[in-house]
Amino acid sequence: MGPLHCIVNPASRDHTCGKKWPKVASKLEERGFQVITHMTTRVGHAGEIAWKLRNEKVDGMVVAVGGDGTVHEVASALRGGDLVMGILPFGSGNDYAITQGISRKNIDSAIDVLVNGKDRKCAAWRLEGFPASQAGDYPSPKPNVWDGPASQEGRVVRWVFLESDAGITSAISRAKLHRAKWIKGSKKYTYLGVTTIPFWKRRKVWLKLDDNDGEILDFTMFAATTGETFGGGYQVCPGVSPVDKNGSIVYAPRLSRIAMLSLMGPMKKGKHIGKWGITQQKANRIEIKPVNSDGSISEVPLKNSTWVQADGEPVIVSPATLEWHTEQLLVRGSSDVAWASE
């Protein structure tokens, strides 16, 4: 077996990842791997390390050790190349690991996937929009060479390997960047949801799917994913997989605040489609623009921001565009996943 270049986020899972890494590295060595460890120190560092490894044309596999944010950074820098990305999940949600059939709780099982798993070319969404401002310690996004140039001035590009969403869900995630940092695990999102939903300002958006005419719509949220789940196992986009030939969008119109709070139960089981007017349909290009109070469509961000997430990070502001691209990333996943036909 070739070497493992392990890009480790020591802050993942409330800093337990760094503490447990020496024992995990020993387990990998016991399975016959040569382990080369690269520790990250800041937001964006995992992408820089992965890009350097790619340009050095290293042998072996590059493994993202952390949560979905770490996976996002590593995947972004490896996209379009020949290096295989492996995953050892150490975050709070780990939904990309779920999609790839990798255990979130059993590290020995996750290591077994690195040994005996299957490599598959997986899709991604290309997200282009305006950079959000800095929030807390989280910086405003800057262009990355590995993401490619934006097609419009003033915008930045991010590639999405797990999920992108906008609306009340992205507002809750935005709040995590500067509030409730003392709360750990899933309780943090419950607290942020309960304290954000009552004060979230209603809005309309202009939404255009593929070659259809754009429409001004009442809006609560939309989600576009490469797998069924995000948020730690919530089946937000039922039936979606990273080998689909077409993308998919779940759209929720104007929901009451009671409906927003009630949505989590059905969404956990993927039973929300059809409730409260929520729809799901195929789409390979999604364009969203903000709408002013006078009903006019804006080509620039408004004060009442609609953040668009890139793999759980609310870093882009509408107007924004998402485009589905197949076979972007080579991923080592379980040899047996429900969505794989081979």
CB 25 within 8 A of CB 114: no
Structure confidence at residue 312 (pLDDT): 86
The residue ranking higher by pLDDT, 204 or 186, is 204
Rounded distance between C-alpha atoms, residue 286 and residue 209, angstroms: 5
Structure confidence at residue 186 (pLDDT): 64
Give the mean pLDDT of 245-271.
Answer: 92
For 72-130, how does the pLDDT look when each residue is reduced to its tens digit (9 = 90+)? 999 999 999 999 999 999 988 889 999 999 998 999 999 999 999 999 999 999 999 99
Residue that the structure tokens 């460890």 belong to = 37
Q: With cut-offs at 50, 70 and 90, classify the pLDDT of residue 173.
A: confident
Structure confidence at residue 310 (pLDDT): 95
Structure confidence at residue 183 (pLDDT): 77
Exposed e or buried b for every residue in 228-260, given b needs 16+ CB within 10 A?
Answer: bbbbbebbbbbebbbbbeebbbbbbeebeeeeb
Percentage of residues in the chain having pLDDT higher than 90 = 79
Rounded distance between C-alpha atoms, residue 186 and residue 196, angstroms: 15
Residue 215 burial (10 A CB sphere; 0-12, 13-18, 19+): exposed
Structure confidence at residue 136 (pLDDT): 78
Q: With cut-offs at 50, 70 and 90, classify the pLDDT of residue 185.
A: low
CB 332 within 8 A of CB 84: yes
Measure CA 132 to chain center.
16
- On average, the pLDDT of the chain sits at 93
For 19-71, how does the pLDDT look when each residue is reduced to its tens digit (9 = 90+)? 999 999 999 999 999 999 999 999 899 999 999 999 999 999 999 999 999 99
Q: How many other CB atoms sit within 10 Å of the CB of residue 341? A: 5
pLDDT(342) > 70 = no
Give the mean pLDDT of 237-266.
Answer: 93
Architecture of domain 124-327: Sandwich (2.60)
CB 181 within 8 A of CB 154: no
Question: Could you state, in order of their start, the residue ranges of all structural domains in the chain?
Answer: 4-117, 124-327
Give the mean pLDDT of 277-293.
Answer: 97
Helix (H) or strand (E) holding 107: helix 107-116
| Homologous superfamily of 4-117 | Probable inorganic polyphosphate/atp-NAD kinase; domain 1 (3.40.50.10330)
Task: Identify the bridge partners of residue 166 per DSSP, sorted by sequence position.
Answer: 222, 308
Q: Which two tokens stand for residue 64?
A: 């993202």
